[in-house]
């Protein structure tokens, strides 16, 4: 499943009275997705000098790809 689908489903289940407006879920999801992306990028190591940094960079790459919809979110 894609991150965007999970986020939209969570917004749809919420008590926010937006679900009757066309495109409302997407309008709410976009800044949330952008915020998560910026938060992930803030944790990206400036240089991959160690195994830990390379692992952290690989994880961030994977998570960014998931929130951008380029790959599915792993299930269990």
- According to the model, what pLDDT value does residue 11 have? 77
- Structural domains counted in the chain: 1
pTM: 0.76
Alpha-carbon distance 62 to 14, whole Å? 27
From the centroid of its chain, how far is CA 10?
A: 13
Would residue 75 count as lying in a domain? no
Q: Whose structure tokens read 């994880």?
A: 59
Range 23-37 average pLDDT: 85
User: For 53-63, what is each residue's pLDDT tens digit?
Assistant: 999 999 999 99
pLDDT of residue 26: 81
Residue 11 belongs to a domain = yes
Give the residue-averaged pLDDT of 28-36.
Answer: 88
pLDDT for residue 17: 65
Q: Which domain holds residue 55?
A: 3-67
Q: Report the pLDDT value the prediction gives residue 18, as an integer from 0 to 100.
A: 57
């Amino acid at each position: 499943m894609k991150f965007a689908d999970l986020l939209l489903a969570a917004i749809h289940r919420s008590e926010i009275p937006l679900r009757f407006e066309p495109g409302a879920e997407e309008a709410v999801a976009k800044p949330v997705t952008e915020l998560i992306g910026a938060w992930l990028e803030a944790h990206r190591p400036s240089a991959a000098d160690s195994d830990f940094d390379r692992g952290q960079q690989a994880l961030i790459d994977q998570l960014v790809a998931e929130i951008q919809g380029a790959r599915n979110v792993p299930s269990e």
